[in-house]
Amino acid sequence: MKTADVLTLSPAGLYCPMGDFHIDPTRPSPRALITHGHADHARAGHGAVMATRETLDIMALRYGEGFTRSRQVAEPGRATRVGEVDVTFHPAGHVLGSAQILIEAKGFRVVVSGDYKRARDPTCAPFEPVRCDAFITEATFGLPVFRHPEASAEVERLISSIKLFPDRAHVIGVYSLGKAQRVMALIREAGWDRPFHIHGALEKISRYYADAGARLGEFTKVATAEKLGLAGEIVLCPPSAIADRWSAGFADPVRALASGWMRIRAFARRGSAQLPLVISDHADWDALRDTVVETGCSELWVTHGATEPLTHWARARGLDAKPLDMVGYGDEEAAVEEAAP
Amino acid sequence: MNEFARLLDRLALEPGRNDKVRLLTAYFASTTDPDRGLALAAMAGDLPVPGIRPAMARALVASRVDPDLFAMSYDFVGDLAETIALIWPRDGERGHNNPPAPTLSVVVEALRATGKTALPARLAALLDDLDEIGRWALLKLLMGGLRIGVSARLAKTAVAALGPVSADDIEEVWHGLAPPYEDLFAWAEGKGPRPQSSDAAPFRPPMLAHALDDASLAALVPGDFIAEWKWDGARAQAAVFTLADGERGARLYSRAGEDLGGAFPDMLDALRGAGFPDAVFDGELLVRDEKGAARPFSDLQARLNRKNPTPKMLRDMPPLLRLYDLLTLEGEDLRPSPFMERRARLEAVARGVQHPAFDLSPTRTFDSIAELVEVRKNAPLESEGLMLKRRDAPYVSGRPTGQWWKWKRDPMEVDAVLMYAQRGHGKRASLYSDYTFGVWRGSELVPVGKAYFGFTDAELKQLDKWVREHSVSRFGPVREVAHEPANGLVLQIAFEGLNRSPRHKSGLAMRFPRVARIRWDKPPAEADRIEALEALLPVGPPETKPSVPRESA
């Protein structure tokens, strides 16, 4: 048994012939296993979808209940027979409901990790390393210049900026699924107890997170009429709203963006951010390497992101590594924010 | 050092002037001596540390990091200092028992006390002790190229905001002071006396112009204003004075108050030796050729970039100060006087001096806006356009409204053919965003320049797509694209000026070229010819004094 028997590349993405299913297909497919709810991985229009309960809920929130003809809940840690293989979902620590998918075929183990991170996130289950023969990883931040700082330190910078500029609104650009809620929870942990003011595009998912137990505290949708009155307050919106007219209505706003890309100054400048917050829901360079080592894999496929450097590193360690450079996974951090649900 | 680095990092992204001042003032208020004074020196360009060359920084990182991974990272980030700061390994991870990171004064002291041969090892040790933002700031300070949008003036304004003193007060004592400015901070905080300035010729903040908009042009009364060319050099303030021992003294400042005397010792000599009375001039600093004519801005830039000029520079690129205002004369402050009166006194002083390092910026009157429009159309190629100065305007520091206008000329344009495209850096690393373009010489295209801005993000995507679909060959990150008379892409290129350049195959060098329009409609055969560009060159060697039809006085 070898990896190519278990997984192949089809025009729609990763395909398992022995189980006759795709994982995170980028076009409508008869049977899809979905790692998490971000739009580039979870698309509407498949015949049947298998995912964690949270991912299914999130897809229904975003696309409506008719996003697929039939659906099946994957219980984390419990193997399910699909065709000639067993599949098991394990937490990936990326966003609420995110999972890695273990495929076992006659004792040969392949893990498709989807997107993942190793840093602490109070709003979702932590990543679980899974031993495997072949590991299929992302490499969004697969360059040694990406080493994310402690998220709590970034939140401290935000809080001290609010103290220095109490007459300005702090408007933070965050992705609507995962980043928004994680940032709110981290700010709560830092002791901020005032209500958050959020863009309408963040509302549905944030309510879902709060109902699922995330400690986000009070948050309300921003009304256009009250924007000027929000000096000294924290406002959250999708990244695209940072640069456009939406954020201009606030009192002399300090524009912040929370993303791993903010480590690079050119990105912060281009994103119109005055306060770049290096907070990422992806593994950084160190975490990618540590994870590859922990899985004990002898073969590594790198799906998207900076595939070349990670492949280069893995080969130097004696791993059989190959870059896939799959298109379609723009990574939600780089992709244009989905339209408001 | 890490705190100072965080300040710089934030300043670089904060566009608002007042917000920058608040960040700076908060830093000065919460930081002790001598660190805050060294920070002030760093922003004023007076930090006493050795510079390092990119080659040394590269060698340093090569000793620590896999060269392939470094190359891939640098290609992605696009900035050497930033790449090194981010990729620097954290082998000696700081635990809670480690000593705190070094302060700015510890870093400065360590570098000052280190000789050239020991510098790389010392720098590496400092990089080990700093975090990624601290490393970035240190490397930028040592390698140059720290762009945080903070002038010395702005930093002084922030010091002034600590207490009752004004920024102009600080300006008046500034040039007698040295880092770490402890007496200055004590004074600014109301805790000490005014520092004694030993300077005979303090910097006087200059008067600045507003850009002329259509409404202001329409409202302009021709009889109230005088026109001058806007020279393409560097604004400078020059002072000549008498020292205590009766000798002549001189000083040269940039428009931000930086002392340019080190970079232009020959200009100081000229000021002292030309026979001027004690005076403070406002003028344009240029570099002249052997015939006395102004040379291209790039030559001036080369001298401005050097703290100490090479003997060859002193020989081949002597400076020229084109005078246009007189602030003081023999101890009398002329700044409250009307411009026409200052101008008359300036002309009288200039008449008494014959020296190749000085000439007078000519003025002219105009009777109508229509006439002014014509004048601007014929602006000499070594000017950037027109300056309009109110006849009765006093000399007021800062940018008073309605007194001085600058009216830049329209950019020159040429239709050129895209020949090569190169991948950009940073966020553009995956896009072909740097374009080499050419014009026809006979039946072949000859490259005349390179542009990497002027287009929107949407146009960039279209250009990138076009490049990928029309590539004929590749050399590393560069693609050659189809460029034949009937097959290729025409770019309308705008630029600010044109000079002869032996370094380019075409013999021409453009200033600020950018893509004004993508001419999807135009076949390459109809692009411009080299003769069209050559016609835009300054004629022969430019004249010493560009002819201006009517002198005003």
Provide mean pLDDT across the span B492-504. Answer: 83
Residues of A in contact with B76 (CB under 8 A): 143, 145, 264, 306
Q: Give, to the nearest 10 degrees, the angle between helix B17-30 and helix B35-44.
A: 150
Of A143, A157, A267, the CB nearest to B427: A267
Q: Which of A62-71, A262-271, B37-46 has the highest mean pLDDT?
A: A62-71
Task: Give the residue, B485 or B500, on which the prediction is more confident.
Answer: B485
Provide mean pLDDT across the span B207-229. Answer: 91
Provide mean pLDDT across the span A79-106. Answer: 97
pLDDT band at B507 (very low <50, low <70, confident <90, very high): confident
pLDDT band at B551 (very low <50, low <70, confident <90, very high): very low
B132 and A CB contact within 8 Å? yes
Residues of B in contact with A266 (CB under 8 A): 77-79, 425-427
pLDDT recorded at residue B429 = 66
Task: Give the residue, A40 or A334, on which the prediction is more confident.
Answer: A40
Of A145, A268, A312, the CB nearest to B68: A312
Interchain CB distance below 8 Å, A312 and B69: yes
Provide mean pLDDT across the span B280-301. Answer: 88
pLDDT recorded at residue B549 = 37
B90 and A CB contact within 8 Å? yes
Average pLDDT over chain A, rounded to whole?
A: 92
* DSSP 8-state secondary structure symbol assigned to residue A74: P
Neighbour count for residue A16 (Cβ, 10 Å)? 25
Residues of B in contact with A270 (CB under 8 A): 426-427
pLDDT band at B295 (very low <50, low <70, confident <90, very high): confident
- pTM, rounded to two decimals: 0.69
3-state class percentages of chain B: helix first, strand second, coil last, to nearest 5: 35, 25, 40
* DSSP 8-state secondary structure symbol assigned to residue A311: H
pLDDT band at B91 (very low <50, low <70, confident <90, very high): low
pLDDT recorded at residue A309 = 95
pLDDT band at B292 (very low <50, low <70, confident <90, very high): confident
Interchain CB distance below 8 Å, A312 and B78: no
Interchain CB distance below 8 Å, A266 and B69: no
> How far is residue A59 CA from its own chain's centroid?
14
pLDDT band at B99 (very low <50, low <70, confident <90, very high): confident
Query: Could you tell me if B26 and B163 are in contact, meaning their C-beta atoms sit under 8 angstroms apart?
Result: no
Mutate to test the interface with A, among B8, B10, B30, B84 (most CBs of A within 10 A): B10
pLDDT band at A331 (very low <50, low <70, confident <90, very high): very low
Q: Nearest chain B residue to A307 by CA: give it.
A: B72
Torsion angle, CA of A231/A236/A239/A245, rounded to 10 degrees?
-40
Provide mean pLDDT across the span B233-260. Answer: 90
Residue A233 CA neighbour count, 13 Å, CB half: 19
Sheet strands side by side (includes A299-305): A80-82, A85-91, A99-105, A108-112, A134-139, A299-305, A320-323
pLDDT band at B412 (very low <50, low <70, confident <90, very high): confident
User: What number is the ipTM of this complex?
Assistant: 0.92
Query: Domain B210-408 belongs to what topology?
Result: D-amino Acid Aminotransferase; Chain A, domain 1 (3.30.470)
Q: How far apart are CA A30 and CA A65, in angstroms?
A: 17
**Residue among B372, B359, B278 nearest B319 (CA):** B359
Q: Is the dihedral of CA B183, B185, B186, B188 positive or negative?
A: positive
CATH superfamily assigned to domain B412-534:
Nucleic acid-binding proteins (2.40.50.140)
Instruction: Specify the DSSP element, H or E, that contains B133.
Output: helix B132-143
Provide mean pLDDT across the span A110-132. Answer: 97
Q: How far apart are CA B509 and CA B239, in angstroms?
A: 35
B351 and A CB contact within 8 Å? no
pLDDT in tens, A235-281: 999 998 887 788 888 988 999 999 999 999 888 887 778 999 999 99
Question: Which residues, other chains included, contact A124 with Cβ-Cβ below 8 Å and sequence gap of 6+?
Answer: A91, A93, A94, A95, A96, A97, A98, A178, A182
pLDDT recorded at residue B48 = 77
What does the domain layout of chain B look like in residue ranges? 2-143, 210-408, 412-534
Degrees to nearest 5, angle at CA A269 with A264 and A271: 95
B458 and A CB contact within 8 Å? no
Q: Is the pLDDT of residue B97 over 70?
A: no
Interchain CB distance below 8 Å, A143 and B19: no
- Which runs of consecutive H residues, i.e. helices, occur in A296-327? 307-316
Residues of B in contact with A144 (CB under 8 A): 65, 69-70, 73, 86-87
Q: Is the pLDDT of residue B396 over 80?
A: yes
B235: tokens are: 């604004």
**Residue among A312, A310, A305, A308 nearest A291 (CA):** A310
**Residue among B296, B189, B165 nearest B234 (CA):** B296
Residues of A in contact with B78 (CB under 8 A): 266
| Residue B230 falls in the annotated catalytic set | yes
Identity at B251, one-letter amino acid code: R
Neighbour count for residue B441 (Cβ, 10 Å)? 16
pLDDT band at B426 (very low <50, low <70, confident <90, very high): low
Provide mean pLDDT across the span B135-157. Answer: 88
Beta strand B363-364 pairing with B225-231 = antiparallel
Task: Give the residue, A307 or B552, on which the prediction is more confident.
Answer: A307
pLDDT recorded at residue B538 = 67
Question: Which residues, other chains included, contact B246 with Cβ-Cβ below 8 Å and sequence gap of 6+?
Answer: none
**Residue among B158, B23, B39, B40 nearest A161 (CA):** B23
B67: tokens are: 């060269």
Interchain CB distance below 8 Å, B83 and A145: yes
Of B20, B140, B230, B389, the active-site residue reads B230
pLDDT recorded at residue A340 = 28
pLDDT recorded at residue B137 = 95
Residues of A in contact with B69 (CB under 8 A): 143-144, 309, 312-313
B82 and A CB contact within 8 Å? yes
Name the maximum alpha-carbon separation found in chain A: 64
Provide mean pLDDT across the span B507-525. Answer: 88
Provide mean pLDDT across the span B507-526. Answer: 88
Q: How far apart are CA B168 and CA B184, in angstroms?
A: 13
B476 and A CB contact within 8 Å? no
pLDDT recorded at residue A263 = 93
Per-position b or e across B120-134, b if 16+ CB within 10 A of its CB: beebeebbebbbbbb
Question: Which residues, other chains included, contact B522 with Cβ-Cβ below 8 Å and sequence gap of 6+?
Answer: B415, B490
Degrees to nearest 5, angle at CA A312 with A308 and A317: 150
CB pairs under 8 A between A and B: 74
pLDDT in tens, B159-178: 999 999 998 888 878 877 88
Task: Give the residue, B341 or B259, on which the prediction is more confident.
Answer: B341
Burial degree of A66 (CB within 10 A; 0-12, 13-18, 19+) = exposed
Average pLDDT over chain B, rounded to whole?
A: 88
Interchain CB distance below 8 Å, A144 and B69: yes
Provide mean pLDDT across the span B407-415. Answer: 87
Of A145, A266, A268, the CB nearest to B86: A145
pLDDT recorded at residue A299 = 96
Instruction: Specify the DSSP element, H or E, that contains B443.
Output: none
Query: Could you tell me if B151 and B256 are in contact, meaning their C-beta atoms sit under 8 angstroms apart?
Result: yes
Q: Is the dihedral of CA A20, A25, A31, A32 positive or negative?
A: positive
Q: Nearest chain B residue to A254 by CA: give it.
A: B14
Residues of B in contact with A157 (CB under 8 A): 6
Domains B210-408 and B412-534 share a fold: no
Residues in chain B: 553
Q: How far apart are CA A195 and CA A187, in angstroms?
A: 11
Pick the CATH number of B2-143 from 1.10.3260.10, 3.10.20.30, 3.40.50.300, 3.40.30.10: 1.10.3260.10
pLDDT recorded at residue B92 = 53
Q: How far apart are CA B160 and CA A114, in angstroms?
A: 54
Interchain CB distance below 8 Å, A265 and B19: no
